[in-house]
């Protein structure tokens, strides 16, 4: 099976490049299942029901969130009724929505998607390792269970992302990092068969400060006083993601490669 994960969509620039390039990606790479991190899609802060519906209408199977999950208040009633929208599984009990789902894929196959949020330099949520272990206890990769498992680790620290990958190695198909908005060059298959990339990167304007307009972001660093509210850069967007091909029998990865299209970064298609 072919799994495509696209990193944090930032503002209109990110939404536009995803919508503009998705048909080409589907034609050229023929992904069976598509996940997009949409937590910055609504002007850089959260996501709206309409944006989610637009992604689903374009062929996205699952939208994941992160630390900006609740920035748009209208998402609160929507998320409880939309199983394809996932927030981190390690939010406290009683938080709206869900952090894991099992979804239909072509030819009767099933894909599980789990998202957790890291705790290093982030909000002090429940332990992501415990949350992942709890969810994996309910799932079986291959052998008549689910055909693939994708773990989105929304975290600041690369060490925490890698530790979660090693913790789940051989038990999931792909561990991919989100949140830091910079694509890393470490796409690999771990020895036990799990594909990994520390951060998929963002879908947005890279002539920016991690997707936000430069002047306001620089002011916050230089002056250390409140200034203009951050807002997304509006130049041409780059689409960044990771593509994984799995073994139909085991659900483990046999190929992984980075995807970068458009905008300012060098273009790269997975082999």
Q: What is the pLDDT of residues 64-119, one digit of tens each?
A: 999 999 999 999 999 999 999 999 999 999 999 999 999 999 999 999 999 999 99
Determine what percent of the chain is predicted with pLDDT higher than 90.
95
Share of the chain residues as helix, strand and coil, in percent rounded to the nearest 5: 25, 30, 45
- Judged against a pLDDT cut of 80, whether residue 238 lies above it is answered with yes
Q: What is the pTM of this model?
A: 0.96
Rounded Cα distance between 271 and 255, Å, is: 8
Q: How far is Cα of residue 196 from the mean position of the Cα atoms in its chain?
A: 13
Rounded Cα distance between 77 and 156, Å, is: 28
Catalytic residues: 68
Rounded Cα distance between 169 and 265, Å, is: 30
* Over residues 232-257, mean pLDDT: 97
8 A C-beta contact, residue 54 and residue 15:
yes
8 A C-beta contact, residue 46 and residue 70:
yes
- Judged against a pLDDT cut of 80, whether residue 227 lies above it is answered with no
Task: Please give the structure tokens belonging to residue 67.
Answer: 């630390």
8 A C-beta contact, residue 113 and residue 35:
yes
* Over residues 229-241, mean pLDDT: 95
Please give the angle made by the CA atoms of 29, 83 and 56, to the nearest 5 degrees: 40
Rounded Cα distance between 94 and 234, Å, is: 37
Rounded Cα distance between 87 and 24, Å, is: 28
Rounded Cα distance between 110 and 102, Å, is: 6
All structural domains of the chain? 2-206+235-261 (3.60.21.10)
Q: What is the pLDDT of residues 6-16, one digit of tens each?
A: 999 999 999 99
- What pLDDT score does 88 carry? 98
Widest distance between CA atoms in the chain: 58
Rounded Cα distance between 83 and 107, Å, is: 21
Q: What is the pLDDT of residues 121-144, one digit of tens each?
A: 999 999 999 999 999 999 999 988
pLDDT band (50, 70, 90) for residue 226: confident
Q: Which of 202, 206, 203, 213 is nearest to 179 (CA)?
A: 202
């Amino acid at each position: 099976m072919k799994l495509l994960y696209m990193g944090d969509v930032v503002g209109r620039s990110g939404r536009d490049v995803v919508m503009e390039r998705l048909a080409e990606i589907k034609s050229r790479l023929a992904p069976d299942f598509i996940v997009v991190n949409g937590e910055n899609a609504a002007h850089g802060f959260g996501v709206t029901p309409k944006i989610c519906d637009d992604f689903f209408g374009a062929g996205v199977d699952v939208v994941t969130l992160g630390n900006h999950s609740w920035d748009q208040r209208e998402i609160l009633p929507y998320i409880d009724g939309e199983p394809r929208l996932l927030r981190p599984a390690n939010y406290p009990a009683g938080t709206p929505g869900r952090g894991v789902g099992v979804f239909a894929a072509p030819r009767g196959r099933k894909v599980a998607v789990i998202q957790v949020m890291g705790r290093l330099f982030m909000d002090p949520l429940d332990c992501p390792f415990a949350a992942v272990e709890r969810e994996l206890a309910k799932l079986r990769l291959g052998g008549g269970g689910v055909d693939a498992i994708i773990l989105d680790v929304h975290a600041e620290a690369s060490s925490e992302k890698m530790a979660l990958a090693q913790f789940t190695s051989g038990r999931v198909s792909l561990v991919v990092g989100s949140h830091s908005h910079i694509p890393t060059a470490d796409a690999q298959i771990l020895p036990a068969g799990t594909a990994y990339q520390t951060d998929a990167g963002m879908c947005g304007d890279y002539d920016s400060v991690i997707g936000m307009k430069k002047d306001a972001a620089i002011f916050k660093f230089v002056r250390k006083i409140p200034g203009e509210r951050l807002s997304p850069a509006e130049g041409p967007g780059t689409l960044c993601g990771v593509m994984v091909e799995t073994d139909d029998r085991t659900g483990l990865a046999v190929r992984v490669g980075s995807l970068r299209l458009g905008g300012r970064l060098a273009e790269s298609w997975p082999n």
